[in-house]
Amino acid sequence: MSASKGAIGWSTRGYWGIKSKSREVVFFKDIWHTEIPGVEMEGTILKELLEVDVQNIPELVCHGDVLYEGKISCF
């Protein structure tokens, strides 16, 4: 197994969950967020693609940084 030499690339993890009210299966993608000039957050790119009706893009419910106590600031 190889290890990443940087903060980008190998830090992505995914989790399956179920919405309690609708019983819908959802997928959470957890990545390290770095502030690199000229590099947009993945959620921002997905939002822009969905706004112009690009096909086969996953539904975006929320994206953002975990600020404290596991709470996410949704954009």
What is the C-alpha to C-alpha distance for residues 67 and 56, in angstroms, rounded to an integer? 30
In a domain, 4, yes or no: no
What's the predicted TM-score (pTM) here? 0.58
More confident residue, 8 or 44: 44
Contacts of 65 (CB under 8 A, 6+ apart): 33, 72, 73
What is the C-alpha to C-alpha distance for residues 60 and 13, in angstroms, rounded to an integer? 17
Terminal alpha carbon distance of the chain: 36
In a domain, 7, yes or no: no
Instruction: Quote the domain boundaries for residue 40.
Output: 13-72
In a domain, 30, yes or no: yes
In a domain, 1, yes or no: no
Mean pLDDT calculated for residue range 22-44 = 80
